[in-house]
Chain A
Amino acid sequence: MKLLYFASIRQGIGASAENVDPPTDVRTVGALVDWLAARGQPYAAVLADRTRVKAAVNETHAGFDTPIAPKDTVAFFPPVTGG
C-alpha cells in the first residue's frame, strides 16, 4: 500500500511517501491511522490529534470509515489551507 504525506504531517514523519504492508484486518482509513500510530514515534505524535488528520484514498477525499485495499494510494495531510 502506498502512503503519501503532506505539509506538517510530512514534516513530522520525515518522509513524503512510503510503502507499507499492514495486516489484512486493517480495512479502513481509521484502522490504518491506528496501525501507523502503534508503530511508535514519530507516527504516534504526528497522528495524535485525529481532528487534524485528513485523508484521501486514490486522490479522493476520504473519511476514517472509508475502506482501503492493498493496491490503494492513501494520503494523509492536515486540513487544507489553499485558496
Chain B
Amino acid sequence: MIRVQTGPFDLAAEMAALTQGRADLGAVVSFSGLVRGEADGRPLKALTLEHYPAMTEKALQEIEREAVARFALSASLVIHRVGRLEPGEPIVLVIAAAPHRGDAFAGAEFLMDWLKTKAPFWKYEETDAGGAWVDARETDDARARRWD
C-alpha cells in the first residue's frame, strides 16, 4: 500500500489499520522520517518536497512488489508527504510486517534505502540565509547498493 499526500499521518492509526484482524503477523517494524530543525548549522524555517507524480506512483508500486517478494512481507505501507513542511513534522512512514523480525527489519530498511536513492522526490530547505536544494548523498547510494 502506497500513499503520497500533503497532509500529516498518524503512526498509531496506520499501525492499527495495517494489523487489524490479522493473525499472520508476528513482527511489525515502522520507520518515521521527520523534518530536522536545522540545515547547515542554521535553524530550518521549512522543508518543501517536490515530486514527479506519475513516476512516483509507478516506482513505488514496483518497489513495494519487490520488497514483498524478496522479504516475504505479509503487509507493507509507504506514506510520503509532499509540499511545505516545518521542523518536527513527519515526512515519510514505512511499515513492514512479516511472520518474523528478520524480514520485517530488512524489508523496512530496504524500502527506506530505495526511497532515498530512487524515488522521484526533491527537498528544498529554507533558512534565514535563503533557500537551497538538498544534495543527494553518496552514503545513501552506498547503503542502497548493499541490497544489489
Contacts and interface: CB of A to CB of B under 8 A. Distances in A.
Interface residues on B, range: 20 to 34
B75 interface: no
Interface of A: 4, 6-8, 56, 59-61, 75, 77-83
B116 interface: yes
A61 B56 CA distance: 11
Given A8-B133, A77-B52, A83 B58 contact: no
A83 to B, nearest CB: 3
Interface of B: 33, 49-52, 54-55, 58-59, 80, 91-92, 112, 115-124, 133-136, 140
Nearest to A10: B50
Contacts of A75: 52, 55
Contact of A61 (B49, B118, B124): B118
B55 A81 contact: no
